[in-house]
Every structure is written in C-alpha cells, then in structure tokens.
Chain A
Amino acid sequence: MKRPPSSAVPGSLEAPVSWVATRLGDAVAWGRKYSIFQYPFVTACCGMEFMSAAAGHHDQDRFGAAFPRFSPRQADMLIVVGTINHKIAPVLKRIYDQMCEPKWVVAFGTCATTGGFYDNYATVQGIDTILPVDVSIAGCPPPPESVFDAIIKLQEKIQKEGWEAVQSLRRHPSIGRTVPPRLRPAEWRRW
C-alpha cells in the first residue's frame, strides 16, 4: 500500500494525523472494492459466458462485486464483453465518459483485449487503444474462474490505490462536473 510521503518523526504531532489519513484511505478503498457496481457492455458471444459467470451458476456477486447496474451513471466498473468494432467504438467511449469517478474498466475475453483474430478493417484492436483498461481477461471465451480472478485482482488494485483516490477526489475543486485525473500504475502496459 502506498502511504503519503511524510517526514514525520515517530512520536511527533504529525504522525497520528498521517496514520489516521492512511487508515481512512484503507477504509474507503475497502468499502469500494466490495461494492463494485458493473455496467456490462455486451456485444458478442462472450456474453454467454458472462451470463454464466454473473448469474446463478457461478454468481460473481458472491465476491461482493459486480452487481449489474444498467445505467452507466450508477456504475463504476465497465466490463466490456465481446468484439468492439469501429462502428460501436464511439458508443463505448460515450458510456465510459458518462460514468462517475472512480471508475474501472475490465476487458472480458480476447476480442475486447486485443481484437482477437478479427485483425481486419472493422475491429478495434483491443479497447486499450481507446479506454484505460485496468484488468484484461484472456480466453475465448474466458472460463468463470478467470473472471473471478480478474475481479479479485481488480479488488486488490482498488485497495492499493485507496488513499490516492481519496486525495484526488478531495483535492479536486469541482467534483461532479470535471473528472479528476485517472490513477493508473506505470506498468499497465509494459512495452
């Protein structure tokens, strides 16, 4: 967990303040990671596997995550399921822009992640060319275990960015009108 930089000497007045702030960030992040509301953007055959993972058979909501909200304004995890072509890309971008911060993006399956074998005139070669993706799930389609793995990894990530997320929201002068800067680990794309 990243802590705010502090030159506080242990036992001085500043140390407890820093400690409280860090704990607060942890608590907020803990609350966030177990109350993910997802917006499923389902375009293709991965949707079948997504239904299986999301609904009764495997029930991804038992991780305290990924309860579907069918309005992007009430969602904070955009899960992109299936092939995204250039015709629908502006719609996806608009859905993403409508979501309130903090928000996370999951690319579900090979097509959403890289374009898959649709290396042609029509298909976006991975939604990370148009959106900042937090977690990508491999597979064509991915098995439910991969989906849960991705959700757990996203929860870890939310927990890690906790304090910075609180700070960035607090510092921002106009919450609700302008989105604060995205928090993104430097290694999100290695090459």
Chain B
Amino acid sequence: MAPVVDQGSAGPLFQELKGKFARDIRAGWQEPPIEVIVIAKNSVARVARHLRDVLGFDALMDLTVVDYLGYPGGKKPARFEAVWYLQSFGSGRRVRLKAAVPDTDPVVPSLTPLFASANWLEREAWDMFGVGFKGHPGLKRILMYEEFSGHPLRKDYPLKEQQPRVEQIHPGVPPFGARPKALGGE
C-alpha cells in the first residue's frame, strides 16, 4: 500500500511518530479533538509502548475491529481494520490508531501486556470478528457461548442465523412480523 499522507492536516503526534517509526507509520490526519494515525498492524505494540512510556498516553480507552466486506465507500486496503483509542490523562490528548488487517492473516499483536484494559476488549474483538491477538494470555469468547460457531459481527455471518442451545419445542413459530394464513400471510 502506498502511504497516503496528508501532511497539511497531519498533527504534531504524527510528525513525532514518523520520525521514530518511519516505516510503520502509513498516514495521519486530525479529526479534532482526536488525532488519527494509520500504522502497520504488526507495529502496534511498539508504537503503543512508545506512546505510553514516552508520550504519556496512559490509558487504552477502546479497541475494536471494523469489517469492510462489501464496503460501498471506496476500496479499502484490507477486509478488516483494527482500531485502538489511547488517551493521555496528563495532557488530555487523544489518539486513534488504525491498522489494516487482511482476511488471509487476521492476527495483530496483543496490547494486554501494555494495558490491562485490553484483555476483555481483545476477547470481545476475537469473539465478534474473529481477529486474533498474538500474545493474549487467554483468548477465548467473552459474549457468545463456547459452542457458538463463527463470528456474528462479520459481514458474511447470516443476519438472522441462530444457534439455539435448547431444544425447540415449538419449531413452527413464524418469524416475528410474519402474518398468519388467516390474515393473508403465506
């Protein structure tokens, strides 16, 4: 991927990181009050450690994944995108790190050794999107049950596919909204 860098709107944090991690920083821009930096996925642990130890970003506020399968807004470099939100309680600055994650290798480094708050967030991202986190101490499902197969927030998971765990005593129940035959339904 060719680096797309809008130097005009790139913020001070981008300049600083670009100087230290030249090869890992792909793009950067500002969406006040937050600064966005696109990085290579395998460098997130290095970049986050630098942000935490040197620049004072001491909290991982959120971590999530976006599935861009069938995205209408233009071509994306990869199917998934992992997103991390870091905040500095000292200066009040916030930064959003983004990294393209290809479908063929959906694994990114875990931030759990750096931020304890990443533990359950990474488990949720794994549960919902099937993106693995290398180095996580116990990557297992957190919301869905163990025998659930698939990852429900992936765009190719069927919208209303259910995996019941209890015997259905009344399988003939029509889906919600269906009209009974007597009222002209099918």
Contact = CB atoms under 8 A, between A and B. Distances in A.
A123 to B, nearest CB: 8
Contacts of B167: 130
A114 interface: yes
Interface in B151-181: 152, 157, 159-171, 173-176, 180-181
A9 B176 CA distance: 51
In order of increasing CB-CB distance, the 7 nearest A-B pairs are A191-B180, A121-B152, A89-B166, A130-B166, A87-B145, A93-B166, A114-B176
B144 interface: yes
A191 B157 CA distance: 30
Nearest to B168: A129
A191 B178 CA distance: 11
Given A114-B176, A125-B162, 10 more contacts: A86-B145, A86-B163, A90-B165, A120-B152, A121-B162, A122-B144, A129-B173, A130-B166, A132-B169, A190-B180
SS class of chain A's interface: helix, strand, loop or mixed? loop
Contact of A90 (B163, B166, B173): B166
In this complex, the interface size class of chain B, counting residues with CB under 8 Å from chain A, is: 20 to 34
B158 to A, nearest CB: 8
Contacts of B180: 190-191
Nearest to B167: A130
Contact of B160 (A90, A93, A119): A119
B182 interface: yes
A166 interface: no
